Structure formats: structure tokens, C-alpha cells
Chain A
Amino acid sequence: MKIDSIHTLEKLKEKSFKKVYLRNPNEAIYDDQKDILVCGGTGCIASDSNQLIKNLNLILKARGYDHKVNIIKTGCFGFCEQGPIVKIQPDNIFYVKVVPKDAKDIIDQHIIGGHQVERLLYKNPTNEERIHKHKDIPFYKKQLRIALRNCGRVNPEDIYEYVAFSGYEALGKALAKSPEEVIDLIKKSGLRGRGGGGFPTGLKWQLTRESEGDIKYIICNADEGDPGAFMDRSILEGDPHSIIEAMIIGGYAIGANHGIIYIRAEYPLAVERLNISIKQARELGLLGENIFNSNFNFEINIKYGAGAFVCGEETALINSVEGRRGEPSNKPPYPAQEGYWSRPTCVNNVETFANIPPIILNGPDWFSSIGTKESKGTKVFALAGKINNIGLVEVPMGTTLREIIYDVGGGIHKGHKFKAVQTGGPSGGVITEKDLDTPIDYEHLAEIGSMMGSGGMIVMDETNCMVNISKFYMEFIMDESCGRCTPCRVGTKRMHEYLQKITNGEATMENLDNLEQLAYMIKDGSLCGLGQTAPNPILSTLKYFSDEYISHIKDKVCPTKECKELSTPKNREVQI
């Protein structure tokens, strides 16, 4: 069957709805059918959720309930700390930390017996009470899931489930408009690049459309390199069709017939699901020639990265897609003018794409009503480190850091004290207690010395040494510096050496001055974003925690005792 019009898509949606009606909150359900949703994200698979699914299936069959209950392997629910996650629909019951041997209780007690399995319910850490319903869990209360809308809701390997939740409707709508109208709509929505730059997406599309050339390309940047951020991976694993749909829309808007997904080879599950989705979309005529009978043709290819942080930078990415070393080039010309094989190219990030279909479906006004004046919509953060609720969260722009850390994140791990939070990964900076009430958007984060970045959010407590943390980031950047320009290639190495000296207790105050000067020099002198932002972790920790640096240098003491060389007996004697 081919989908050749909105009409056939609607028919298919109606037909597919049977598959998912148990998961629709607006439906009144009177029969005894159930859906068991099991998280199949990387984190939960690591905790044996595949075996759990096998066990559930076996026991269902043995009890003769397999015709009444469907087991669906979904994408990431986001609540990774509590994984593996199991959700029973339409009951809206949310089980956490489910191990394979719990399958028996879930089937016998809940499905057959009709009683919830108390011990598997989420326990509220503040009052030790068990919470039954998914929607009542504090972790989810302040969240607004747009980009992650289908993660944990659909089977990512089934295009019909995606269609049942209005999938590819946005594509049908977009193809009925002119490309200029589509661009206008995205511009009006205020959507900005979620990869970290924050460049207005609609404008990027317009610039690529206006560039001269009969062949153009649209590239999805899925080379998620920020250590500690995994939202792109979760979207690709949990809702791959949304990316494919958005790329076709983007291709239509800028005038490209060819899309490329550039993805890390380290993400095998995401690659597998993308391949499945592309094949399914092709079979239904959503990729290929004359899509929706509109005379528009579009194809998508996957290209693999091979592990290089700098390839997140768009000119470096394009070099890598062309099979070369992923070194950045000088801008201009911008990729919108001369990109992949010197043709006009538009590079957008995974999360940016995930926002496109809802914007087309619900309209730009809906999207721009969410968020702050300059930053519209939501942002996904990967919350990790010393925090209770580790996982993926999506909140409206303008939510404060305090709300994310304490309300959504459930506060600091094991009752420790909050010390700092790092946003923007190795290119960002630390934020301390005094700025926790800052509403999060691109501008405010820059104002307080950090940045949005791709959305990594690492929380640190009083046991983390800030000098050690900035040494960690510098080691990362030093490894990942591509070597093209001198300030970054040599400078990051020198900065790392200074930090090594400080944490070894061998540095002088003069070294510290030099380190700071060097940091500014590298900021000003580097070719691409990687080098220009490389000194940020040092500069921001120096700003807020200079006493820790001084204590390492003058007293030869690491206040948190994290730096081993400064807590050996030899050094303690010196101190006495």
C-alpha cells in the first residue's frame, strides 16, 4: 500500500488506531485488554529489559493471556535512574526497577489478579509513599514533552503506531503548502537550533533555499559527542520516524531531494532503528518519488561517524561526511552557500528536527506561546551526576535550574549539598547556588557564564573538586582538538599541563596567572567553536571557585580530597 494523499493517510491512521487505543488517555476503555510497555532504551536494555520482555511473553502464553495483552518495546521513558521501566495501559500504572524475575508477579498479580504489584511502584523519596500513576510522579509533573512526545509511547519499529499518533500528517500538510510558506511557519514559531548554537531554524532554511544551485542537501547531525548528553540518541531510538518526517519537510522547504543522517557508529541500536524506519517509510511511499502525489522526491542515506567531538561543528561534519578528516573549515562560505560537495547544505540537529512535525500540526502560535521571549518551546536536558533522578527531562524554556534540579531531579544524591551544575558540556561553564533561579534560555545561560549547548546537565556536590573537574574537561578537549589551528592544538595541551601541575601540588601562583591569560588567548584565537569555548570550564571555575585553586597551589591541599597527590601522607606532613 502506498500513501498518496492525506485521505489515504487518514484511513491508515484510523486502521492503525486499534493498535494504540489503550494508550490514548482520552479513550474510555471497557474491555479487559491491556498494553504492557517496556522500556527498550540503551540504559534499560543494559539492565536486562530484553530478558524481561522474553519472560513476560513466555508467562503470558503459559497463562493463555497472550490474545488479551500486548507487550510493546518502546523507546526511552527518560527516568533512567529507575530503570528498567514498565508501564501498564490503560491503567497508567508505572513500575520501576523491574528485573526479569518480576515478570511473573506482573502477569499473575496485576494482569490476571487485577492487583497492582505494590513493591514495584515508584517510592517518593520525600515521604516514602508509593506512587501508582505515571502522571503523579514528581519527575514528570513539570515536564512538557514535545520532542520526546513518542518516546516511551510507541513501538519505534512500527510505522503504523507512529501514524496512529498523527505521524506523517505534518508532512502531508507541509507538502500542500508552498516551500516559502513552510519556512515562514518555522520562522514564526521561533524555533532555534537545539544542537547548542541556537541559530533560528527558519532563517537557516531560508538562507539555504535562497542559495543558488539545482542540487541541495539537508543533513541531520546525529553525532552526539557531548559526554553526558544522550537526548539525540534517545529520540533516534525511541521515535526515529519523527526525524525522517521532519527531514522530508525540511528537504521540501529548502529544495533538497537528498537527506543524510550523520550518526555515531557507537550508537548501533539507533542505526538499526533508523534503517528499519527508512525501509518502512519507503514501502509506504513516504520516501522516494512523488511523495503525497506532490511531484516532490526525497531520499535519505545514513553516513557513519567514527568518534570525533569536533564533528558536531557543521563544517567539520561536512568534511567527515565526505570521507575526510573531520576538521572545520573557515566560514564564510557557510554551508548554506557551499556545503556538502560544495552544494548548498542545511545541517540541523536531531532535537531540532523532532520539534518540526508538532509545529506544523499545531501551528507556530502554539509553539511560540511556550517558553521565553527569545527562546521558544522546550529543551531536553540529560540530567546526570550527583542527583537523585538521573534521566532525560524536557521542560519549557524559562524553567529555572532550581526547579529542574529539585522538583524534577528530586534534589541532590544521598542528602549531600549542592555545589555546582555544569551545562553545555565541555564548552560550557559551572553555575552556582546564587544563579539557580535563573530562567533557562539561550540568553540567560550565556549571561551567567555558561551556555545551552546540547543539553547536558551535570550536577556536582561538595565532594567534587572543581579543579579536578576542569582538568577532566580539558583532557577531553585536548584529546578531541583536531589539530588544525595552533591556539587550540597547542593551547589546550598547555592548559592541561598547568592543571596537572596544580592538582599535583607543583604549581605556583604565577602559573595560575599564565593559565588565565592563556585561556583568554585561546578563546580569541581559535578557528572554530571547539577551541573558542575550550577554556570555558577553567574560566568559570576560576570565577566561582578561585579559593579552591589557591588552596591547591598555596596550601598544597585539595579541599575535597579528590586529588590523590594532595592527600598522601607526605603532603599532609608538609601541611602540619
Chain B
Amino acid sequence: MPNVQIEPPHSDLPREKFEQLSSYIDSLDTARGALIEILHKAQDLFGYLPRDVQLFVARKIGIPAAEVFGVVTFYSYFTTSPKGKHTISVCMGTACFVKGSDEIFQAFKEKLNINSQETTKDGLFTLNNVRCIGACGLAPVVMVDEKVYGKVTLEDVEHIINTYRKEDSI
């Protein structure tokens, strides 16, 4: 696509990441129809899609920021707030639900004292409920970052949290 130079906004976000995003967009044949790919790339780089990043993308490819915001908020994969060091995803697919994943989710909420999509104050954990990660044979399933825990019981909840807390304190 034609090389449009947009100055990164003055914010706390790292400038070099804006430059990386900018050259990624420049490398595309066309930005037409590529908004979702660009947002995937942006979220890979920044970890989330704050207002400044959305504005930057909109100006760079020449579409209204409202359109970018509309797409970001439409898809559950995109997030507008930063994530904690570890993301705990409790599977809420039907197979896990009938095996009691809502209770597991509730236990995580209580133990971490946060709601779904929120991050703990110490920035260590973000809690998510996800739709089916396709490991129904292991239901109920909890995923911490890339690691999958299968057949999780209420007793395991504290243990899982402590594993990552300990790891972090070392």
C-alpha cells in the first residue's frame, strides 16, 4: 500500500512498536479488507489495543477511527485493556459447563477477587472465560497462558494460583 507517514502519538506506549506496526502496514499489498489482520498484528505488538493504537491505525490506513473501534469491540479476541503477566482462561464451552466449569470460574473470581476480563492489582493475573478450546476430553479445562490443566477440581484452583505466585516471587 502507498507509504503514508503518520507520526506516532505522544504516549507512554513504546515508539518502536508504532514503527514496527507502521512498517507491517506498509508491507501489505493493500490495506483494503486488511483491518482485522492489522489489528491482530497490533495486539501482538502491544498486548492490547488502547485508544492511541486504534487512532494510529485509523489514520495510517485512512478510515474513520469509529470504524476501527467498531471492529475492535465486535470481536472477543481483541481487548482494549492491558493484560496481566499470566492469563487464566476458564473454558466455558458446553462440555466444560456441564462438568461444573462455572463453579471453577466462580472460585477463581473469589480467590483472585476480580471479575471476568479484569486484572489483579499486582498485575499478575488476568481472568477470562473462553468458549471451547477443543480439549473437551479433559473437561473442565483451565488454561494458564499456553499451559492446559485438565479435569480441574475446586481444590486445584488455589494450587494453580499459588504455582504462578511462587514462580513469580523467586
Contact = CB atoms under 8 A, between A and B. Distances in A.
Interface of A: 42-43, 46-47, 80-83, 225-230, 233-234, 265-267, 303-309, 320-326, 341, 382, 384-386, 390-391, 422, 425-426, 456, 458, 460, 464, 469, 472-473, 476, 479, 482
A384 B131 contact: no
B95 interface: yes
Given A42-B135, A43-B138, A230-B132, 12 more contacts: A227-B131, A230-B134, A303-B36, A306-B76, A306-B78, A307-B75, A323-B35, A324-B35, A326-B75, A458-B95, A460-B98, A473-B94
A321 B33 contact: yes
A242 to B, nearest CB: 19
Contact of B132 (A229, A306, A308, A469): A229
A12 B144 CA distance: 44
A391 B32 CA distance: 41
Given A307-B76, A323-B35, A325-B70, A46 B150 contact: yes
B39 interface: yes
B94 A43 contact: no
A265 B40 contact: yes
Nearest to B130: A266
B99 interface: yes
A322 B150 CA distance: 37
Contacts of B137: 43, 80-83, 384, 390-391
Contacts of A324: 35, 67, 71
Interface in B85-104: 92-95, 97-99, 102
Given A323-B33, A382-B136, A469-B98, A225 B39 contact: no
Given A81-B137, A228-B132, A306-B40, A472 B77 contact: no
Contact of B37 (A303, A426, A456, A464): A303
The binding surface of chain A is classed by DSSP as mixed
Those 4 A-B pairs whose CB atoms lie nearest each other, nearest first: A80-B137, A384-B95, A306-B75, A46-B148
Contacts of A230: 132, 134, 136
B97 A472 contact: yes
A460 B148 CA distance: 24
A239 to B, nearest CB: 16
Nearest to B131: A227
B133 interface: yes
A127 B102 CA distance: 34
Contacts of A456: 94
Contacts of A460: 98
Contacts of A267: 134
Interface of B: 32-37, 39-40, 67, 70-71, 74-78, 92-95, 97-99, 102, 130-139, 141, 148, 150
A428 B78 CA distance: 28
A321 B134 CA distance: 23
B51 to A, nearest CB: 18
A325 B131 contact: no
Contacts of B70: 325
A46 B136 CA distance: 11
Nearest to A83: B137
A456 B99 CA distance: 16
A304 B71 contact: no
A220 B97 CA distance: 29
Nearest to B139: A384
Nearest to B134: A230
B76 A228 contact: no
Contact of A47 (B35, B130, B150): B150
B150 A228 contact: no
A448 to B, nearest CB: 19
A325 B37 contact: no
Contacts of B33: 321-323, 341
A42 B93 CA distance: 15
17 contacts: A43-B136, A43-B138, A46-B150, A229-B132, A265-B40, A305-B75, A307-B131, A323-B71, A324-B67, A325-B71, A341-B33, A382-B136, A384-B136, A385-B99, A390-B137, A458-B94, A464-B98
A306 B77 contact: yes
Contact of A42 (B92, B95, B134): B134
A472 B77 CA distance: 21
B150 to A, nearest CB: 6
Contacts of A80: 135-138
A426 to B, nearest CB: 8
A499 to B, nearest CB: 14
Contacts of B98: 385-386, 458, 460, 464, 469
Contact of B36 (A320, A341, A385, A458): A320
B77 A227 contact: no
Contacts of B78: 306
A42 B95 CA distance: 16
Contacts of A227: 92-95, 97, 131-132
Nearest to A302: B37
A453 B118 CA distance: 33
Contacts of A472: 94, 97, 102
B74 A482 contact: yes
A513 to B, nearest CB: 28
Contacts of B35: 323-324
A325 B74 contact: yes
Contacts of A464: 98
Nearest to A472: B97
